[in-house]
Structure 1
């Protein structure tokens, strides 16, 4: 990463930490620590994503200044602010140290044990930072050391479990995801409605701060219904609301036991829906990959025969209803057995992959392409005339002929392809992909009989 880019990133990180500190200070009860402190969790996520910029002397110094500046500008003592800032940063770095070696999926809350990783990492951060911040807060607010340390430890751990899963689940970059099955509208709306209803009921019939676990069944429902990011947002909003309302009820060391119990209860309850959401996300990803592998060729990555037939059948059904046109191409790499015999099967596999990539780059986005078996491939061209289908087939022949293929030892390798084309000007419900593949195969046989490296168009239909 260039220095100007790194400088901008560091400036944005410092501004974000500074703003998060100000938000926490606004939510600070008079005479004690904030009930909701997002800065440390934000710093941890930034460390996990941009360690090459922030985990440098300049980066750490700039972040430290951001912490201290927010406190000093709002009237805090410089030395107390320095102690708090050291505690906050050491805690965040400790969590980074125990979490950064885990997989990207685990760190985006999509792993089966992501919630436990967050619980462990945030617990380490809370413990380490409390060892420094507890004595400082005890001195600053004139409370016993045990109370000051426990208030810091429980508050830091609870804040992390509320906010950190959401920050981790935020996408760091645009990434390709496998398609997921769309849910009907009631399945999308009802879990969130259930959360709102149960939360409202808990405050109506419970104590002043409501029953902690009242909405837990609805949160578990959300975890099984929504993507991980949506679940973390709902969970964060529910429990952040609880602690903000609780802060109105003397959230200070004067009620040390009640506050500590409440915070630890929130910390452990959050683990439930997040664990279910992570396990569900991991299971869904596995099922999607299995579904993908069942319909795609493991070598070339294009559709397998089964996937090609299914996708093509859907196209045929739609075009038959519209009485549209369609062409099917059968492609066969010429003398492929000779390549395997001369250069080995590794080179043959490499040639198949490069050939498939060449074809994909030549075809249109709406075309369907798959490997039928061995060195045979097939293409479905919807909404096309016979002449245009023959032109595309010729273009494929030319692209393969001009392709710069190589053996595994980087020796140049030439390849050609024979193509048979079957065209239907107006599809009817009686047409099937199997019959069209058979017609294209007949035309392919004729192309091979003419000497290969050519295109043959079957009888017009």
Structure 2
């Protein structure tokens, strides 16, 4: 719908320019009012359709660190260059085989770019293609088989360029809406709606991906199993709404104690799990203790004014090298969690070392 609104607004602005041309063309250039309307309308229509999408979709520029740029460059899928190569081939084909259909040689490449690239990149490419087409025709490189000295021939050409721009912009807008919807669906499928952290399936997928990516390397991992103490009592005494508030507050608290590379998820009920890549047992102990201490000091203000304080029990397990199964790592951490609860809760217990699996 944004493309529809955009076209309507651009058409209205171009018409306003055309109405000015109706007055100016006879007074200054000695032409007719009808020619002034058509000339000004078509010229402004092309300018607006070509330039405004680039301005309206321009993202914020933030140059990533040099090391990140190098990693991104190495990870580029060079097949993504194929749509741009198709555009170049379309332009070259127009130089070799000129004629009335040459203006459409760029359309397949533009549509492919709209399917693959972002809306901003597509807008930039349509700008470049439109400018190239207009300049190539004006200097005589691209011959469309039309006499532009004829009445309305140039205006017809400009309208053709404007319509050529609309198709990839519309397709790119549809793809942008589709990708945003898919991203929302993927987020909803992998995240817990109440706490905002990964759900069980999302945590398992993300953690398995980290472990598989470390296979063959000497990369340590630490798993934490966390369980909010006496959570059933919170639900029984204060209601499930209060329990939901405690869960959401704890998830936010635990997330603040972690690094961006760490993975946290809610496995079910009041039980959470954390995977710490590249962490030593001492560092994991410090992280777990920080979460435990922060939870014991965090006050949850319920809707009825009650000030509620909860604690958490945490078990850890360490895998010094890969490969190791996620199930084994979580099972060892769960055993340590059981010992923490048996020892009185509100504490961190270090679990056993999880050896690498012999392949």
The TM-score by the shorter chain falls in which range? 0.7 to 0.9
Counterpart in 2 of 1:14? none
Does the 8 Å CA contact 1:147/1:256 hold for their aligned counterparts? no
The structural deviation recorded for 1:172 is: 5.3
Partner Cα separation in structure 1 for residue 296 and residue 343 of structure 2? 17
2:120 is the counterpart of 1:229: yes
Counterpart in 2 of 1:42? none
Aligned match of 2:321 in 414, 427, 430? Answer: 427
Counterpart in 2 of 1:189? 81
Counterpart in 2 of 1:205? 97
Aligned match of 1:333 in 228, 234, 245? Answer: 228
Partner Cα separation in structure 1 for residue 40 and residue 218 of structure 2? 71
Does the 8 Å CA contact 2:191/2:197 hold for their aligned counterparts? yes
Counterpart in 2 of 1:115? 3
Counterpart in 2 of 1:383? 278
- Assess, with a 3 A threshold, how the Cα gap between structure 1 residues 320 and 158 changes in structure 2: closer, same or farther: closer
Say which is worse superposed, 188-197 or 127-136, in terms of deviation: 127-136
Taking the TM superposition and a 5 Å limit, the aligned residue runs for 1:36-51 are none
- Assess, with a 3 A threshold, how the Cα gap between structure 1 residues 316 and 173 changes in structure 2: closer, same or farther: closer
Counterpart in 2 of 1:322? 217
The structural deviation recorded for 1:271 is: 1.3
Does the 8 Å CA contact 1:316/1:427 hold for their aligned counterparts? no
2:351 is the counterpart of 1:453: no
Partner Cα separation in structure 2 for residue 242 and residue 133 of structure 1? 25
The structural deviation recorded for 1:354 is: 1.6
C-alpha deviations, 1:188-238, integer Å up to 9, x for none? 22211221221122133214x972212111111111122221111111111
- Assess, with a 3 A threshold, how the Cα gap between structure 1 residues 385 and 254 changes in structure 2: closer, same or farther: closer
Q: Which runs of 5+ in 2 are unaligned?
A: 63-74, 141-145, 355-359
Does the 8 Å CA contact 2:221/2:275 hold for their aligned counterparts? yes
Counterpart in 2 of 1:300? 195
Counterpart in 1 of 2:244? 349
Counterpart in 1 of 2:299? 404
Q: Any idea what SS the aligned residue of 2:227 has?
A: strand
The structural deviation recorded for 1:138 is: 2.9
2:262 is the counterpart of 1:367: yes
C-alpha deviations, 1:118-169, integer Å up to 9, x for none? 2221011112332234312332211111111111111111211111111111
User: How many residue pairs were aligned?
Assistant: 337
| TM-score, length of structure 1 as denominator length | 0.67
Does the 8 Å CA contact 2:340/2:348 hold for their aligned counterparts? yes
Partner Cα separation in structure 2 for residue 154 and residue 318 of structure 1? 55
Q: Which runs of 5+ in 1 are unaligned?
A: 1-112, 175-181
The structural deviation recorded for 1:288 is: 2.4
Does the 8 Å CA contact 2:25/2:32 hold for their aligned counterparts? no
- Assess, with a 3 A threshold, how the Cα gap between structure 1 residues 406 and 232 changes in structure 2: closer, same or farther: same
C-alpha deviations, 1:283-340, integer Å up to 9, x for none? 2222222222222222222111112112222333344522433221110111222222
Taking the TM superposition and a 5 Å limit, the aligned residue runs for 1:124-273 are 124-171=12-59, 184-185=77-78, 187-207=79-99, 211-247=102-138, 255-273=150-168
Counterpart in 2 of 1:80? none
Does the 8 Å CA contact 1:351/1:406 hold for their aligned counterparts? no
- Assess, with a 3 A threshold, how the Cα gap between structure 1 residues 350 and 129 changes in structure 2: closer, same or farther: farther
Does the 8 Å CA contact 2:147/2:153 hold for their aligned counterparts? no
The structural deviation recorded for 1:279 is: 1.2
Does the 8 Å CA contact 1:157/1:267 hold for their aligned counterparts? yes
RMSD (Å) for aligned C-alpha atoms: 2.5
- Assess, with a 3 A threshold, how the Cα gap between structure 1 residues 236 and 388 changes in structure 2: closer, same or farther: closer
- Assess, with a 3 A threshold, how the Cα gap between structure 1 residues 335 and 152 changes in structure 2: closer, same or farther: same
Partner Cα separation in structure 1 for residue 29 and residue 235 of structure 2? 79
The structural deviation recorded for 1:267 is: 1.6
| TM-score, length of structure 2 as denominator length | 0.85
C-alpha deviations, 1:394-417, integer Å up to 9, x for none? 111101112232223554321211
- Assess, with a 3 A threshold, how the Cα gap between structure 1 residues 318 and 267 changes in structure 2: closer, same or farther: closer
Partner Cα separation in structure 2 for residue 458 and residue 321 of structure 1? 24
Counterpart in 1 of 2:66? none
